[in-house]
């Protein structure tokens, strides 16, 4: 097999039939990084006037590795929780007009803000992650608040990812846990993709799984080491998250990285944002979604018969969505749902068996170990901040959010999602 590292920055014909082009050119991981590493990359990318984007915390975090004296530094505010807001990107755009490259120093939020600004300015950017918290560093999208709503916008990934393990090891433990949560989600995302391959003949790229599966095994096995901030394990976590972002580029969408577990999380996040409340960290919320999705797969393999058929009629769905999100957004979500339902068929028993056979290798290898890994993160007190009723509604209705087939659509089409929602926690 071709070595994945050798494919960075290249175009290649994949076994899935597509030609993929990986835009990230270099992924460098060292015990510590230095100004020399940075200068090498700037020279390689022919940049003379870089602007560094960070907040006070992340600037402090990299201080022992690199000195930014005499450089142009843009510090985002407030120190403790910069918003992933398009307004922040616009401030950078205004301030960086005569620059020739951006460098993001931070975790997911600062990366997303910088990625969008670089895209708008038509510049390359370098990413220096300060926490192994999300897979968005290398992804071809950026998630930003636009007029109060979270939008996922297409944007070029960084040319270089420059990882200092010293910085990663010192990142806040909640961000490490969030990264593990986002990593475990790749298992349920993979099962959802295979499910849709059988039920809807959806295109699948197996190579996206191959570049993640060994690292997923390592992380599920060594969760204690990850929590203890073992450098080798966090390096694997960081690589897994980076490869997940690249997998999204290859698939052309977030399919390899995101399934029902993410959609449930988006539903909850959307509700919070609408009510001006801060959601939990992305990966922490996603880890709850992953536990719920794993439970759904347990029902699929151990007996769907134990779930009762209770149909949700269209009025009930509409009433609930409007109550949660208001008239206008509620109607939009109903439109997505109705369009999706027109395309979907209710699979018969034979097709469901076929899907189970396809998913079985992933299910049997990972379901138990992933559940155990997530439980070791001890996130119960975080989960308890989310209203239980909201979680159950998210399970029942979040398939109105995206035109993406998941295990919840299967349950919905079989009339099982309502009963499952009452048993999902």
Range in contact with Zn ion (rule: CB under 5 A) among 9-17, 195-203, 289-297, 347-355: 9-17
The smaller minimum CB distance to Zn ion, of residues 52 and 281, is found at 281
**Toward Zn ion, which CB reaches closer, 246 or 307?**
246
Q: Does 261 participate in binding Zn ion (rule CB under 5 A)?
A: no
Q: At closest approach, how far in Å is the CB of 318 from Zn ion?
A: 29
Minimal distance, residue 137 CB to Zn ion, in Å: 11
Provide, rounded to whole angstroms, the least separation between the CB of residue 193 and Zn ion: 12
Q: How far apart are CA 179 and CA 132, in angstroms?
A: 5
Measure the CA–CA gap between 85 and 103, rounded to whole angstroms.
18
**How does DSSP assign 187-225, residue by residue?**
HHHHHHHHHHHHHH-----THHHHHHHHHHHHHHHTHHH
Q: Which is nearer to Zn ion, 207 or 405 (CB)?
A: 207
Among 8, 16, 73, 312, binds Zn ion (CB under 5 A): 16
- Binders of Zn ion among residues 216 to 255 (CB under 5 A) are none
Binding of residue 424 to Zn ion (CB under 5 A)? no
Q: In the 8-state DSSP scheme, what is residue 5?
A: G
Q: Which of 8, 14, 22, 329 binds Zn ion (CB under 5 A)?
A: 14
DSSP lists the bridge partners of residue 68 as none
What are the start-end ranges of the H helices in 327-416?
327-343, 349-375, 380-383, 388-397, 407-413
Cis peptide before 160, with omega less than 30 degrees from 0? no
Q: Are strands 72-76 and 50-55 parallel, antiparallel or unpaired?
A: parallel
Pairing of strands 11-13, 19-21: antiparallel
CB of 400 to Zn ion, least distance (A): 20
Closest distance between Zn ion and the C-beta of residue 119, in Å?
Answer: 20
Cα–Cα distances in angstroms (integers) from residue 355 to residues 204, 241, 362, in the given order: 14, 27, 12
Region of 81-89, 103-111, 202-210, 335-343 interacting with Zn ion (CB under 5 A):
202-210
Q: What is the smallest separation between the CB atom of 173 and Zn ion, expressed in angstroms?
A: 19
Q: With binding defined as CB under 5 A, does residue 22 bind Zn ion?
A: no
Tokens linked to 254: 């977030």
Chosen residue from 207, 363, 397, 408 binding Zn ion by CB under 5 A: 207
Single out the residue of 7, 127, 189, 205 in contact with Zn ion (rule: CB under 5 A).
205
Q: Which one among 37, 85, 156, 182 touches Zn ion, defined by CB under 5 A?
A: 182
Query: Phi and psi for 100 in degrees, rounded to 5?
Result: -120, 5
Contact call for residue 336 and Zn ion (CB under 5 A) = no
Residue 19, CA atoms < 13 Å, CB-side half-sphere:
3
List of residues contacting Zn ion (CB under 5 A): 14, 16, 182, 205, 207
């Amino acid at each position: 097999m071709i070595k994945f590292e050798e494919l960075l920055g290249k175009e290649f014909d994949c076994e899935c039939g597509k030609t993929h082009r990986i835009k990230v050119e270099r992924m460098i991981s060292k015990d510590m990084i230095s100004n020399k590493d940075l200068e090498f990359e700037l020279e390689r990318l022919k940049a003379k006037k870089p602007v560094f984007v960070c907040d006070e915390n992340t600037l402090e975090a990299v201080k022992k590795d690199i000195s930014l004296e005499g450089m142009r530094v843009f510090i985002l505010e407030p120190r403790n929780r910069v918003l992933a807001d398009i307004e922040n990107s616009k401030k950078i755009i205004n301030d960086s007009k005569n620059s020739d490259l951006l460098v993001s120093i931070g975790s997911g939020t600062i990366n997303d803000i910088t990625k969008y600004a670089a895209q708008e300015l038509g510049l390359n950017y370098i990413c220096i992650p300060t926490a192994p918290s999300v897979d968005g560093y290398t992804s071809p999208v950026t998630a930003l608040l636009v007029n109060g709503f979270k939008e996922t916008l297409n944007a070029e990934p960084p040319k270089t990812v420059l990882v200092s393990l010293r910085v990663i090891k010192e990142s806040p433990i909640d961000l490490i846990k969030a990264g593990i949560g986002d990593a475990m989600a790749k298992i349920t995302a993979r099962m959802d993709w295979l499910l849709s391959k059988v039920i809807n003949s959806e295109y699948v790229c197996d190579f996206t799984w191959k570049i993640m599966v060994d690292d997923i095994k390592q992380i599920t096995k060594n969760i204690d080491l990850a929590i203890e901030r073992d450098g080798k394990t966090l390096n694997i976590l960081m690589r897994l998250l980076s490869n997940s972002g690249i997998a999204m580029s290859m698939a052309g969408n977030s399919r390899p990285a995101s399934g029902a577990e993410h959609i449930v999380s988006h539903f909850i996040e959307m509700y919070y944002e609408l009510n001006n409340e801060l959601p939990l960290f992305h990966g922490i919320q996603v880890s709850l979604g992953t536990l719920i999705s794993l439970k759904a797969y347990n029902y699929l393999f151990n007996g769907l018969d134990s779930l009762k058929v209770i149909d949700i009629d269209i009025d009930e769905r509409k009433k609930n969505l409007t109550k949660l999100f208001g008239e206008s957004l509620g109607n939009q979500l109903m439109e997505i749902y109705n369009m999706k339902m027109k395309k979907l068929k209710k699979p018969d028993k034979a097709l469901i068996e076929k899907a189970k056979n396809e998913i079985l290798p992933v299910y049997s290898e990972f379901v138990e170990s992933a559940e155990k890994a997530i439980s070791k993160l001890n996130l119960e007190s975080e989960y308890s901040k989310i209203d239980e009723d909201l979680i159950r509604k998210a399970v029942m209705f979040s398939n109105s959010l995206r035109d993406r087939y998941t295990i919840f659509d299967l349950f919905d089409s079989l009339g099982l999602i309502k009963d499952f929602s009452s048993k999902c926690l």
